[in-house]
Structure 1
Amino acid sequence: MRCMDLGGRYRLERRLGRGAMGEVWRALDLRLDRPVAVKLMAPSSGSEARRFLREGRLAARINHPGVTTVFDVDRHGRRLFIVMELLNGRDLGAVIRDHADGLELSEVFEIGRRLAEALSAAHVLGIVHRDLKPGNIVILDDGTVKICDFGIARALDVTRITRTGLTVGTPAYMAPEQFGGAAVDRRADLYSLGCVLYELCTGRVPFPAANIAQAMYGHLSAPPPSPRTGDRDLDALVLSLLAKDPARRPQHANEVARWLRELGKDHRSTRPLLDLCDATFRSLLDAAIERQDHEAAALLREQEKVYLRMRQALER
């Protein structure tokens, strides 16, 4: 399918990824001469196509820096596609995999706040994501946090769900009410946000499961374990988001954003200062080696050992 044109406007150049919902391609918008991302869905029926196009148009109404901009939705034969801004960065799942024990709390507060603000912008328009997860969140090279795929989960069509016995969403991050196929509202997104925050804090999801049955049991029946971050207020917020009953969760994403903003004020990141110390040690050591000052180099290496122990303690 290389260099295939969609609708005579979008030229597919390189496949970037493939998932359960379809393929993502880097493409060229021939009319505007700009690179874009195209999500090309699996072949769909007429009713599914109409639903997808309707939901895609709704998603295009969201205007927020934390939400991937949707430029166009259309179909090519029986295949639906959505055209979005092309993002340069890493998905949050890859970031989490690099931090097996969780991220620094300062980063948890910052990423969580930005996610909550982006959700709030969608919820104000009556748009619910329904499949918030690290794989649908991208951290751009400049640190911007972007949520992708608004509207796609709903657009997959309830009729297909009931036919196959599946549910819309990803089991590890789904709210209890989603497992029954019932109508959901913004509070389902807040539950999913709680799952993402839990994973940011700990490096693991709140209810690890080998199959959908185990996932259902965890979300429907098991009490959520505390993330034990060392910050009791953050632990309480995450657990409140993971409440089984939607009425017992925070009711609005902007509330969650405000709490994360306030809690984060006491957790300034030490990483920039520590990175500067790393660079300083390396520069001094290189200079000592270059001038063959073995005594100074040996002293710097001993000092570096002490510093590294201090850094490890600060980053716990």
Structure 2
Amino acid sequence: MEGTRFGRYQLEKQLGAGGMGQVYRAYDTGTERTVAVKVLHAQFAADPIYRERFRREAKSAAGLGNPHVVPIYDYGAIDGHLFICMQLLDGEGVDTLLARTGAMPPEQAVSVVAQAAEALDTAHAAGLVHRDVKPSNLFITPRGFVYLIDFGIAHAAGETKLTSVGATIGTFAYMAPERFATGIVDAGADEYALACVLFELLTGDSPYPAASLEQQLAAHMMMPPPQPSLVRPELGTDIDVVVARGMAKNPAERYGSCDHLAAAARQALAGTHPAATVFATRTDEEQYRKAAAAGNANAMGNLGYLLEQRGDLSGAEDWYRRGAAAGDEYAMGNLGYLLEQHGDLSAAEDWYRRAAAVGNSDAMTNLGYLLEQRGDSTEAESWYRKAAAEGDGSAMGNLGFLLEQRGDTRAAESWYRESAAAGNSDAMNNLGVLLEQRSDLRGSEEWYRKAIGAGSEDAMHNLQALLEHRGGLRG
């Protein structure tokens, strides 16, 4: 069909072909813009199962309204062929990127997973399951913005499964074990697949490389989750805990949402808190109490953190003090933060300084912020720089903001970019504001969208204002 007319679309070049159809770069003569058009493979057009699945892809994706799902402009049928008209993306599949560059830097891997997680959780909230999360279904732009693509096999909760006899929907390298055992496909299966993708982004290889389908199935069913640190020791072992939980054989033992998985991965790779404390369960609490009773300082700090997340601030403070007295740096820093929230700034500063003295970058950042609020920007900058040197993304963002307030916008931009690369949504938003002030509206919009994908409500308002302003200018 390349080079031919398809309804109002002039098909210019085939961009790719998948299990359901072919994708073309096309010119929409109705709206006078270049778009991407996906057309169902001719041999499947007469099959009602495939036709319905294709229709559902368009309906599902168009209804999500998430910035990390490719925008759908139109869909329907032309000359007996179903089609979807989408935004034409500039970039490549994550699988192509991995094949060219190998394993990603940790910050980039977490950014990709976090953006995909945002799209998946939006779909899950709408009752949809993607069912085929893998690197080739993640599209990344030159600026690092990620889109989740190919909802052609998306499954709506409660909807009839559209599979012919003997057909399997999804890619075996990323399939959750319950899909083989029971056929159940829900949000937990997408989380499992995303954990597999996380492993691949960090190591450059799929979790269970196997020569046959049987070996692949057996690995997902029986083998323990692989450990990224065995491939790249510099990642540390906290990330092993995250991958293991995301790929737990029992769906009930996973994080419960893709966003929680991404957040745990970010914390583990940044070293901001032991991975085991992230989204802990009752079983974790029992283990922490046993270890704390045996004198384990880290367990005392972890137990304090768990209680704080549950709202038991008195219990949290007690265990933080015990952990701090036993020398746990995280307990010191978290105690400082808890006291700061209570308004005891003098005590908070004391504990921040103790934790910072033993290398806790979170405490350095929090100390810097406390000093900045007090008006001591010089010492605040010093602590931000120390924490930034340890890789603390929040410190980088705070340093950027401090420098911007002083008028050093070039240095501010540099630190915002460093912080954004580490996944800091505030830095992404601030970078968007900075670029908008320079009239770089395209760059500003992209960073606002990234910030929205990372959970920034401020960026959502800023993007809306930018688009309204741009529309007013065009009008």
Calculate the TM-score normalised by the size of structure 2. 0.52
Q: Distance in 1 between matches of 2:140 and 2:123?
A: 19
Contact residue 36 and residue 85 of structure 1 kept, 8 A: yes
Partner of residue 245, structure 1: 250
- In the alignment, the residues of structure 1 paired with residue 210 and residue 172 of structure 2 have an alpha-carbon distance, to the nearest angstrom, of 9
Question: Aligned-pair distance for 1:76?
Answer: 3.5
Aligned ranges 1:151-170 → 2 under 5 Å = 151-154=152-155, 158=161, 160-161=163-164, 163=165, 165-170=166-171
Matches within 5 A, 1:93-172: 93-100=95-102, 102-154=103-155, 158=161, 160-161=163-164, 163=165, 165-172=166-173
**1: CA distance, partners of 2:33 / 2:122:** 27
Higher strand share: 1
Shift of residue 2 of structure 1? 2.5
Q: Any residues of structure 2 matched to 1:160-239 within 5 Å, and which?
A: 160-161=163-164, 163=165, 165-179=166-180, 182-228=183-229, 229=232, 230-239=235-244
Structure holding more helix per residue? 2
Aligned length: 267
Q: 1:200 to 1:50 in 2, by over 3 A?
A: closer
Name the amino acid aligned to 2:88: L
- CA contact 2:10–2:28 (8 Å) conserved in 1: yes
Q: CA deviation at 1:57?
A: 0.7
Secondary structure in structure 2 of the residue aligned to 1:152 = coil
* Contact 1:75–1:81 (CA under 8 A) maintained in structure 2: yes
Is contact 1:13–1:25 with CA below 8 Å preserved after alignment? yes
Contact 1:113–1:260 (CA<8 Å) still a contact in 2?
no
Compute the displacement of 1:224 (Å): 1.8
**Over aligned residues, Cα RMSD in angstroms?**
2.6
Deviation at 1:77, TM superposition (A): 4.5
Alpha-carbon distance in structure 2 between the residues aligned to 1:108 and 1:182: 30
- Separation in structure 1 between the aligned mates of residue 187 and residue 5 of structure 2, nearest angstrom: 37
1:107 offset after TM fit, Å? Answer: 1.5
CA contact (8 A) 1:153 1:168 kept: no
- Greater C-alpha radius of gyration: 2
Provide the rounded CA distance (Å) in 2 between the counterparts of 1:159 and 1:94. 29
In the alignment, the residues of structure 1 paired with residue 228 and residue 129 of structure 2 have an alpha-carbon distance, to the nearest angstrom, of 26
Residue 3 of structure 1 corresponds to which residue in structure 2? 3
Q: Secondary structure at the match of 2:36?
A: strand
For residues 190-210 of structure 1, what are the alpha-carbon distances to aligned partners after superposition, in whole Å with 9 as ceiling and x for unaligned?
011011000011110111122
Does the 8 A contact of 2:153 with 2:169 survive in 1?
Answer: no
Query: 1:95 is aligned with what amino acid?
Result: L
Relative contact order (C-alpha < 8 Å, sep 6+): which is higher?
1
Q: Deviations over 1:68-95 (max 9, x none)?
A: 1122222334533222111111211122
Superposed CA offset, 1:227-264 (max 9, x none): 11432222211111111121111111222233244445
Q: Deviations over 1:267-313 (max 9, x none)?
A: 569xx99xxxxxxxxxxxxxxxxxxxxxxxxxxxxxxxxxxxxxxxx
Kept after mapping to 2: 8 A contact 1:26/1:35: yes
Compute the TM-score of the two structures, normalised by the length of structure 1: 0.76
Provide the C-alpha distance between the structure 2 equivalents of 1:29 and 1:180, rounded to a whole number of angstroms.
Answer: 46
- The code of the aligned residue for 1:67 comes to V
Contact 2:93–2:135, Cα closer than 8 Å, also in 1: yes
2:20 matched residue in structure 1:
21
Task: Measure the CA separation in 1 of the matches of 2:245 and 2:147.
Answer: 24
Quickly say closer, same or farther: Cα 1:196–1:57, change in 2 above 3 A: same
Question: Residue 34 of structure 2 corresponds to which residue in structure 1?
Answer: 35
In 1, Cα distance between equivalents of 2:107 and 2:217: 31
Residues 23 and 199 (structure 1), Cα distance of their counterparts in 2 relative to 1, 3 Å cut: same
SS at match of 2:17: strand
Query: How many Å separate the matches in 1 of 2:132 and 2:198?
Result: 15
* Cα separation, 2, equivalents of 1:48 and 1:112: 29
SS at match of 1:223: coil
Change in Cα spacing, 1:215 to 1:79, as seen in structure 2 (3 Å) is farther
**How far does residue 140 in structure 1 lie from its aligned partner after superposition?**
0.2
1:82 to 66, 84, 88: 84
* Cα distance in structure 2, aligned partners of 1:11 and 1:243: 47
Aligned to 2:228, the other structure's residue is in SS state coil
Name the CA distance, whole Å, in 2 between partners of 1:262 and 1:78. 51
Distance in 2 between the 1:12 and 1:32 partners? 15
Shift in Å, 1:124 = 1.4
Unaligned runs of 5+ in 2: 272-390, 394-413, 416-475
* Aligned-residue identity in percent: 39
Q: CA deviation at 1:265?
A: 4.6
Q: Which amino acid aligns with 1:224?
A: P
